[in-house]
Structure 1
Amino acid sequence: MPEKVCKFQGQCYHKLKRSCLRRGALFQDPFFPPSAESLFYKRTPPPGLMWKRPRVRETDCELIQFGLDVWFCSGQELLAHPRSLAWMRVIPDHAEQEWHPKRPDLYAGIFHFRFWRLGQWTDVVVDDRLPVSEDGALLFCRSATPREFWSALLEKAYAKLNGCYEALEGGNTAEALVDFTGGISEPLNLNQEELIQHADQRKMLFQTLAHAHSHKALITCSIRQVESVLDCGLIKGHAYGVTAFKKLRMSETLNGMCTATRLHMVRMRNPWGTADWTGVWSLGSPQWQQLSRREREKMGLVVRDVGEFWMEFEDFCRYFTDMVVCRLAEKSLLWPQTHWREVCCQGAWTYRQIDRRSRCGGCINHRDTFLYNPQFLFELTGDGAEVLICLQQEDKRMKRREGSGENLPIGFEVLRVEVNRVCRVQCLYEQAASSVYMDSRSVTLRVTLGPGRYIILPTTFLPGATGRFLLRFFSHSHVRLRELKEELPAPSLWQCCFPEPSAVTTVHLLKASGLSHPKQTAPDVYAVIRCEEDSVRTTIFKKDGSPEFNTKAIFYSRNPKSKISIENGNLLEQPGVMCFAQG
């Protein structure tokens, strides 16, 4: 099923283009005019600034060409492959938007791009009027080839979405990758000292990155600190794209170059189009000179695009300090199990005068109000799973012109709750995981959890802060994520005839012992916890005489004196059975 696309400011690209073609006029965007307000909200435009259209003649203009110098440098890797799925999402109808030399009458000076924002794709329409300086050069993003304008048009659409060009300042690679792909960006801080000293950690990181790249993840890396050039040619404060990983066996040719039995290589790309690296395996280095072109192709050590270069992964770990891995997820039932599967929920931190109806209780430090926050339930079966949880708040750059637009410090807690819970928690439970709190647009946590039910509480750091958010949950299996809104479970039809619950009891079944004689084979066992008409059954433990149940259950009873029983399958009458529980 096609994804729903939101039309930014209600503009429909196809209707607007048809109207322009009928009138024989080039499109002029009324919502993003060629004015100072479209450029800056604080600064004054430079003298001599003009807005100009590309010269639309066959010999002068090539709108859809690549070799980009995109300011949000992660985007150049995304758009470097014109037939990729992500390329077609960001630039829909790319063939229809192209300049056709034989049909100049079909050109209307209108383009559209799509960006992913808070759970949906947003279609942004722009005209082709671009800001240029007094000497005629593009003021902002420009391509290395003067006749290419695609990157500048893409940047203009992104600026329109965010209010103006100045609002784009202070963005980061992780956010740009999410906006271009709808994927999940996971920032990684590289511990250079540990990676250099421990080859096993370096190997594990290489395998993780190579696996992610093989599943279409987009990867960028950078060297922390302000922009400056290192002796090895790499640039601090500059984002590079990672385009390939290779693990090579040492051949006779390579044995003289390296003492290791295997060579781990990574291919980088500088979006500026220059190969900066001057170390081992750099362009013109002795390592390349000892390999023929045929040997390079056979080993897969090829350079595909301008600005690409190879380096050993050990050197990579020695210099680079930060990485962003943007993984693509899918909601399709046919998506391979090796890929991440996504479920998501929209939510909001809201404030009301009646405290318990507020949904902005602040972080767990504020214990009196923490549980007022929105609560989302999910369940893991089997042996548990590794999951990736991302909390993303509404982008506020559009509001910078008004003097606001700052991100809220956000984070989330994961609580392990009873296996039969269906309503909001009222007291603190076992803390299974916790994210950091940051004033960034999104916060991500990767964690391995055991089987059971869990509650995610997305929060702002301080109580009373309001705003919209998107909670995204990624796993390799089918997981349902839903918000809990009721304080008590809804009664069934037949329960409506009985009094409302008057007592709430939580039982924590820890373990059992003595389920088999020492000389006998232990049976398959499970436990059943009962209270009035409700019951909870644990999983089956195969041939285990002392099972660790570690199961929590909650019961809402009409009679405070109702008994709670724990039955151990069909072995209840077996002598020596002991169950340990907390209530």
Structure 2
Amino acid sequence: YIFDVKKTEDKVLISLQQEDRRRSKKVGKGDNITIGFEIFKVEDNRIYRLHKLTVQERVATSPYINTRNVFLKKILKQGRYILIPTTYLPGIAAKFILRLFTDVPSKLRELTADKPEMTCWSLLCGYPRRITQIKIHSAEGLQEQDGSSGADPYVLIKCENQKVRSSVEHNTTSATFNTQVIFYRKNIDSPVIVQVWNSNILCDQFLGQALLAASPSDPREQQTLQLRGRGSQEAEEVPGHITVKVFSTDDLVEL
């Protein structure tokens, strides 16, 4: 299940309730099952099921107990989250009711698709050949704007015809974003573009960009890249650098 936290921080209450099993006591199945759930922070634009838990940040785990209801209250930061209800022992199926309460609507919904659907239209427009996850940690050493002591930076990640924008960090030249995105890429030769912009009331200012080949053979460790002007990878350097982590694979259900 997936849900969104819209506020900068929101107090989230989750309730997982299993079916009443007392009527099954006559056949020896009246005991409650040990249940619980896990919550992971995922990419801001994820719309498909989660396949690899080790590349995601686990932000909360409920108690695993054999009661009818399991509750958890947690303050979560703005972003998108995956909630996975589970039994403690593997291979046990059970019916349940999942409830989630937040201050503003969270759009809790079930994820059913593992990857983009192959359709007749895919034969004409192409089908994704690679999946890329990008985590933007921070941007530092940015150029001061408007004669002030800082800037109001945000990052814009572009891949083919898709764009994802982070929140704005105010009055700083060294911003921490902790933004992550995921792209299903058709044209694997086209780089992913990570741009840094300064937010203004009338017109935002371009501060620099980094081009990512995002190949499966690229290092998967966190790396710091110099910002450059618009154009190719050899464009003129501009003040600032950005710290990112890239994970690419040609297996569309690995992430």
TM over 0.5: yes
Provide, for residues 73-97 of structure 1, a one-character-per-residue CA deviation record: whole Å limited to 9, x for no partner: xxxxxxxxxxxxxxxxxxxxxxxxx
Change over 3 Å in CA distance of 1:389–1:459 after alignment to 2: same
CA distance in 2, matches of 1:456, 1:513: 33
Matched residue, 2:243: 580
Matched residue, 2:207: 571
Higher relative contact order (CA 8 A, sep 6+): 2
CA distance in 2, matches of 1:537, 1:514: 20
1:423 is matched by which residue type in structure 2?
Y
Matched residue, 1:400: 25
Change over 3 Å in CA distance of 1:382–1:551 after alignment to 2: same
Provide, for residues 358-388 of structure 1, a one-character-per-residue CA deviation record: whole Å limited to 9, x for no partner: xxxxxxxxxxxxxxxxxx0000123120111
Matched residue, 1:560: 188
2:105 is matched by which residue type in structure 1?
H
- The answer to whether the 8 A contact 2:35-2:65 is kept is yes
SS for the counterpart of 2:95 is: strand
Matched residue, 2:16: 391
> May I ask how many residue pairs the two structures share in their alignment?
208
2:65 is matched by which residue type in structure 1?
M
SS for the counterpart of 2:31 is: coil
Deviation at 1:493, TM superposition (A): 9.4
CA distance in 2, matches of 1:485, 1:493: 21
Matched residue, 2:177: 549
Provide, for residues 27-82 of structure 1, a one-character-per-residue CA deviation record: whole Å limited to 9, x for no partner: xxxxxxxxxxxxxxxxxxxxxxxxxxxxxxxxxxxxxxxxxxxxxxxxxxxxxxxx
Pair 1:410-2:46 in alignment: no
- The answer to whether the 8 A contact 1:422-1:489 is kept is no
Deviation at 1:497, TM superposition (A): 2.4
Change over 3 Å in CA distance of 1:491–1:451 after alignment to 2: farther
The unaligned stretches of length 5 or more in structure 1 are 1-375
CA distance in 2, matches of 1:547, 1:496: 42
Change over 3 Å in CA distance of 1:382–1:560 after alignment to 2: same
Greater share of residues in helix: 1
Is the radius of gyration larger for structure 1 or structure 2?
A: 1
Deviation at 1:499, TM superposition (A): 1.9
SS for the counterpart of 2:26 is: helix
SS for the counterpart of 1:400 is: helix
Q: 2:150 aligns with which of 494, 517, 522?
A: 522
Pair 1:419-2:44 in alignment: yes
Map 1:60-71 → 2, pairs under 5 A: none
TM-score, L = length of structure 1 = 0.34
CA distance in 2, matches of 1:555, 1:470: 32
Deviation at 1:490, TM superposition (A): 4.6
Matched residue, 1:471: 98
Map 1:470-549 → 2, pairs under 5 A: 470-490=97-117, 497-517=124-144, 520-549=148-177
Provide, for residues 181-229 of structure 1, a one-character-per-residue CA deviation record: whole Å limited to 9, x for no partner: xxxxxxxxxxxxxxxxxxxxxxxxxxxxxxxxxxxxxxxxxxxxxxxxx
Query: What percentage of residue pairs aligned between the two structures are identical?
Result: 35
Matched residue, 2:70: 443
Please, what is the CA RMSD of the aligned residues? 2.0
Matched residue, 1:227: none
CA distance in 2, matches of 1:496, 1:437: 46
Pair 1:454-2:81 in alignment: yes
Provide, for residues 489-537 of structure 1, a one-character-per-residue CA deviation record: whole Å limited to 9, x for no partner: 3579976622211111100000101223497432222111111121211
CA distance in 1, matches of 2:128, 2:185: 5
- The answer to whether the 8 A contact 1:531-1:565 is kept is yes
Matched residue, 1:432: 59
